[in-house]
Chain A
């Protein structure tokens, strides 16, 4: 079982460039999430999707867009990358139909993104 798969694992961008982080899960989960992790700050929610076709903002959505392409895939896009977006990005999923936080979350291995 692959679980949650994120691509790429590492990426270096220049300020102003754009890119899309990909995430796919094979557990038939309903809800999917994008987090960023910075030293000393834990995981902060960027966007989430409770079901196919719906997305909502989390704590730190500025500078990001998302697409829930289908039940399996949830992508995160940086339109114009800034150095402040240097971070480790984690995608997660769970069975919850309403993103109420009552199901365990399964995380991908992360994407380490540096913006120069």
Chain B
């Protein structure tokens, strides 16, 4: 069952912050985050395996609340290169299910 991402789209100016949420109706084993530029392959950003764990990639970080079956991705001081579609992938027992994606547009 696909996780639910919100918002569907967000527009930012350079330097602004944003949060993307991912929630599942099932207990989660792990949460993955990927970014995809138009016409390209998804690129791995980070994986979270423990409840409450936070990880970072440059100025992009994420948290995982195992009890709430939710994860959030934080884009801090956004850069033009952050533009793209962000997908969360959730694993319960096996295999990943991906959300529909959040399109982020960062403008100068």
Contact = CB atoms under 8 A, between A and B. Distances in A.
11 contacts: A43-B42, A44-B2, A45-B96, A45-B97, A48-B95, A90-B42, A100-B91, A101-B94, A103-B47, A104-B44, A105-B34
Nearest to A44: B98
Interface residues of A, number: 24
B58 interface: no
A30 B100 CA distance: 27
Given A45-B97, A101-B30, A105-B89, 11 more contacts: A43-B42, A44-B2, A45-B96, A59-B97, A99-B95, A100-B94, A101-B32, A101-B94, A102-B29, A103-B47, A107-B42
A37 to B, nearest CB: 9
B41 A101 contact: no
Interface residues of B, number: 25
A40 B9 CA distance: 11
Given A90-B42, A109-B40, A101 B98 contact: no
Nearest to B5: A42
A77 interface: no
B64 interface: no
B41 A109 contact: yes
The B interface is mostly helix, strand or loop, or mixed, namely strand
Contacts of B96: 45, 101, 105
Nearest to B45: A104
Contacts of A42: 2, 87, 98-101
Given A43-B98, A59-B97, A101 B89 contact: yes
A29 interface: no
A58 interface: yes
A74 to B, nearest CB: 15
A98 to B, nearest CB: 7
Contacts of A41: 100
Contacts of A45: 95-97
Nearest to B40: A109
